[in-house]
Amino acid sequence: MADPQSRYVIGVYALGVLGLIFAVVIVLGEALGGPGPRRVYWLVGGAGLGLILMVYGFILLLLRKLAIAGPRRAEAEDDLRGRWTKPVP
């Protein structure tokens, strides 16, 4: 069984590929969209935009889990009240 960090890295790569697919959907929606019955392509492009924002949010969560983006709460030197907190091993 793979360690958790390698699963997170695979997740980041998979979500990156998904984000690239949604970016292509956005471009196609803008290129093919128009007034009238072609408006559906604009809606598909808008849905792609919403999905790409969600994917990037999940990528950020996985990067925080990997301790690449931002400090984890358990590793902070002190909390908001000025008390020292011990890092979790």
Q: How far apart are CA 68 and CA 66, in angstroms?
A: 5
**Residue 67 pLDDT:** 74
pLDDT per residue as tens digits for the range 17-70: 999 999 999 999 999 988 888 899 899 999 999 999 999 999 988 888 887 776
Q: For residues 49 and 78, which has the higher predicted lDDT (pLDDT)?
A: 49
**Residue 81 pLDDT:** 59
Q: HEC string of the chain?
A: CCCHHHHHHHHHHHHHHHHHHHHHHHHHHHHHCCCHHHHHHHHHHHHHHHHHHHHHHHHHHHHHHCCCCCCCHHHCCECCCCCECCCCC
- Is pLDDT at 75 greater than 60 in this prediction? no
pLDDT band of residue 88 (cuts 50, 70, 90) is low
Q: Residue ranges per domain, the chain?
A: 25-67
pTM confidence score: 0.69
